[in-house]
Amino acid sequence: MSLRLKTALIFILSLTVLIVALTLGLRGYLLNRLDELEQQEIRSNGERVLRALANETDGLDAILRDWVHWESGAEGFPGRERRIPTGTFRHLRLGLVIRLDAAGQPLFHRQYDAAQQRQQPVPAPLLRKVIAPVMPRLAGSAGSKGFLELPGGLLIFAARPVGAVPGRETQQGYLIMGRYLTRPELARIARMLDLRLELLSRRQFREWRGSRAVSPEGQARVWVEARSSRAIDGYAPLADLDGRPVAAVRLTIPREIYHQGQLSLWYFSVAMLILGVILSLLVLAFLEKSVLSRLAFLNERVCEIAASNDLSIRIPISKRDELTSYATVFNQMMDSLEDSRLELERNREQLASANQQLLNIIDFLPDATFVINCQGKVVAWNRAIAELTGITKQEILGLGYYAYAFPFWGEPRPLLIDLVTADFDEIRRYYPSAEQNDPILQAEVFLSKLHQGRGIYALISAAPLYDHAGNLVGAIETIHDISNRKKVEEQLRYLGWHDQLTGMYNRTYFEREIERFQHGEYSRLGLVMCDVDGLKSVNDSQGHAAGDRLLRSAAELIAAAAQGNQIAARVGGDEFAILLPDCTLDEPQQIQRRLTELLDAHNQAALAGSEPKLSISLGWAISDDRKTVQEVFEEADNNMYRKKLHRSQSLHSNVIQILMKTLAARDFITEGHAERMKHLVQHLAERTGLPERKVQDLKLLAEIHDIGKIGIADNILFKPGVLTPEEQQEIQRHSEIGQSIAESAQELSYLSDWILKHHEWWDGSGYPLGLKGLEIPLECRILAIADAFDAMTSDRPYRRAMPTQEALAELVRGAGTQFDPELVKSFVALVTEGVIRRSGDAS
In a domain, 53, yes or no: yes
Q: Do 180 and 31 fall into the same domain?
A: yes
pLDDT exceeds 70 at position 300 = yes
Q: Looking at residue 11, what is its pLDDT?
A: 75
pLDDT-based confidence at 822, cuts 50/70/90? very high
Q: Looking at residue 784, what is its pLDDT?
A: 94
Q: Looking at residue 755, what is its pLDDT?
A: 92
Which tens digits make up the pLDDT trace of 385-420? 877 777 887 877 878 767 777 677 777 778 877 787
Q: Do 687 and 734 fall into the same domain?
A: yes
Q: What is the mean pLDDT of the chain?
A: 81
pTM of the model: 0.35
Q: Do 635 and 678 fall into the same domain?
A: no
User: Does a cis peptide bond (omega within 30 degrees of 0) precede residue 803?
Assistant: no
d(CA 108, CA 93): 19
Ranges 135-139, 241-245, 329-333: which has the least confidence: 329-333
The total of structural domains in the chain comes to: 5
Q: Do 621 and 494 fall into the same domain?
A: yes
pLDDT exceeds 80 at position 277 = yes
Q: Do 681 and 821 fall into the same domain?
A: yes
pLDDT exceeds 60 at position 263 = yes
Average pLDDT over every residue of 550-574: 89
Which of 642, 675, 692 is where one domain is finished? Answer: 642
Q: Do 566 and 630 fall into the same domain?
A: yes
Q: Do 169 and 203 fall into the same domain?
A: no
Average pLDDT over every residue of 316-331: 72
> Taking Cα atoms as reference points, which of 843, 694, 715 lies closest to residue 778?
694
Q: Looking at residue 670, what is its pLDDT?
A: 54
Average pLDDT over every residue of 291-301: 74
Which tens digits make up the pLDDT trace of 334-388? 778 777 777 777 777 777 776 777 777 777 778 888 888 887 888 888 888 877 7
Sign of the four-CA dihedral 665, 668, 672, 676: negative
Q: Do 179 and 202 fall into the same domain?
A: no
What CATH number did the domain enclosing 667 receive?
Answer: 1.10.3210.10
Choose between 370 and 98: higher pLDDT: 98
Q: Taking the C-alpha atoms of 128, 132, 133 and 138 in order, what is their torsion angle to the nearest 10 degrees?
A: 120
d(CA 738, CA 575): 20
In a domain, 15, yes or no: no
In a domain, 327, yes or no: no
Average pLDDT over every residue of 275-304: 78
Q: Looking at residue 711, what is its pLDDT?
A: 78
pLDDT exceeds 90 at position 780 = yes
**3-state DSSP call for residue 170?**
coil
Which tens digits make up the pLDDT trace of 749-777? 788 899 999 999 999 999 999 999 999 99
What share of the chain in percent tops pLDDT 70? 88
Average pLDDT over every residue of 173-186: 90
Q: Looking at residue 662, what is its pLDDT?
A: 59
Choose between 838 and 23: higher pLDDT: 23
Q: What share of the chain is helix, strand, coil (3-state, %, to 5)?
A: 50, 15, 30
Which tens digits make up the pLDDT trace of 115-143? 888 888 999 999 999 998 988 888 778 88
Q: Looking at residue 568, what is its pLDDT?
A: 92
Which of 481, 511, 535 is where one domain is finished? Answer: 481
Average pLDDT over every residue of 599-624: 82
Q: What residues contact 200, with CB distance under 8 A and at least 6 apart? A: 208, 235, 247, 248, 249, 250
Q: Do 411 and 528 fall into the same domain?
A: no
The string of DSSP letters for 376-429 reads: S-EEEE-HHHHHHHS--HHHHTT--TTGGGHHHHSS----GGGGTTS-HHHHHH
Strands of the sheet containing 368-373, edge to edge, are: 378-381, 368-373, 472-481, 456-466, 440-447, 435-437
HSE of 628, CA atoms in CB hemisphere, 13 A:
3
DSSP code at position 291: I
C-alpha angle 731-732-735 in degrees, rounded to nearest 5: 115
Which tens digits make up the pLDDT trace of 217-239? 544 588 888 777 788 888 889 98
**3-state DSSP call for residue 51?**
helix
Q: Looking at residue 783, what is its pLDDT?
A: 94
In a domain, 521, yes or no: yes
Average pLDDT over every residue of 325-339: 76
Domain range enclosing 674:
655-833
Q: Looking at residue 80, what is its pLDDT?
A: 45
What CATH number did the domain enclosing 606 receive?
Answer: 3.30.70.270
Which tens digits make up the pLDDT trace of 493-514? 787 888 888 889 998 888 888 8
d(CA 690, CA 826): 14
HSE of 215, CA atoms in CB hemisphere, 13 A:
5
The bridge status of strand 472-481 relative to strand 435-437 is unpaired
Q: Do 621 and 504 fall into the same domain?
A: yes
Which tens digits make up the pLDDT trace of 453-466? 677 888 888 888 88
d(CA 782, CA 687): 11
pLDDT exceeds 60 at position 76 = no
Phi, psi dihedrals of residue 532, rounded to the nearest 5°: -80, 125
Q: Do 78 and 111 fall into the same domain?
A: yes
d(CA 141, CA 413): 106
Q: Looking at residue 773, what is its pLDDT?
A: 94
What share of the chain in percent tops pLDDT 90? 16
In a domain, 292, yes or no: no
In a domain, 796, yes or no: yes
Q: Looking at residue 217, what is its pLDDT?
A: 52
Choose between 476 and 389: higher pLDDT: 476
Sign of the four-CA dihedral 623, 627, 629, 632: negative
In a domain, 311, yes or no: no
Strand (E) positions, 71-229? 96-101, 106-113, 118-120, 144-150, 153-162, 173-180, 196-201, 223-225
Which of 166, 193, 220 is where one domain is finished? Answer: 193
Average pLDDT over every residue of 589-603: 89
In a domain, 9, yes or no: no
What CATH number did the domain enclosing 399 receive?
Answer: 3.30.450.20
Q: Do 811 and 702 fall into the same domain?
A: yes
pLDDT exceeds 50 at position 642 = yes
Q: Looking at residue 843, what is its pLDDT?
A: 37
